[in-house]
Amino acid sequence: MHIALESPNQPDVIGLIDDLDAYQKPLYPPESHHGIDIAALSAANVLFAVARDEEGTAVGCGAIVVGAEFGELKRMFVRPGNRGRGIAAGVLAFLEGHAAAKGCTMFMLETGPSQPEAISFYARSGYERRGPFGAYGPDPFSVFMEKAVVR
């Protein structure tokens, strides 16, 4: 597996994000879907990582939107057939390392209660539940988590 910062605006990566949307959108009402699009993922303050297998196929991705107060984890996804190989953990560690190098001292995320595997993964990765942050408000379809950067 190879993980690198890449442009999200590539056909195979767009396909990966389309697969993520196809999985998540049926789980929650539209007002509780907080994914960001390719244009937002291409912004200067976004670190977007792609995991590729030995053949160069995009099998996972994730992003951190680096803000003044925290970095927000977005668009974490590993194709179902590639799960259980440590890809998500690798992408997360890669992103956290790059964001910390840019001065990020806190990571936050929003996920949903219909994704217990994601919640468990983030908890194992050091994230703890918290209340809404940034522009988010209370939402029964949202689970908010944070992790302080350990230096």
Question: What is this structure's pTM?
Answer: 0.94
Look at residue 29 and tell me whether its pLDDT is greater than 90: no
Non-local (6+) Cβ contacts of 80 within 8 A are none
DSSP state of 138: -
Helices (runs of H) and strands (runs of E) counted in the chain: 4, 7
Q: What is the pLDDT of residue 35?
A: 83
Non-local (6+) Cβ contacts of 63 within 8 A are 8, 36, 41, 46, 47, 48, 49, 73, 74, 75, 76, 95
Q: Which of 99, 90, 49, 98 is nearest to 72 (CA)?
A: 99
Q: What is the pLDDT of residue 34?
A: 86
What pLDDT digit, counting tens, does each position of 98-128 carry? 999 999 999 999 999 999 999 999 999 999 9
Q: What is the DSSP string of 71-137?
A: EEEEEEEE-GGGTTSSHHHHHHHHHHHHHHHTT--EEEEEE-TT-HHHHHHHHHTT-EEE---TT--
Q: What 3-state DSSP class applies to 148? A: strand
Phi-psi region of 3 (alpha: psi -120 to 50; beta: other; left: phi over 0): beta
Question: How does residue 151 score in pLDDT terms, banded at 50, 70 and 90?
Answer: low
**Domain boundaries, given as residue ranges, for the chain:** 2-148
Q: What is the pLDDT of residue 100?
A: 94
CATH number for 2-148: choose from 3.30.1490.20, 3.40.50.620, 3.40.630.30, 1.10.357.10: 3.40.630.30
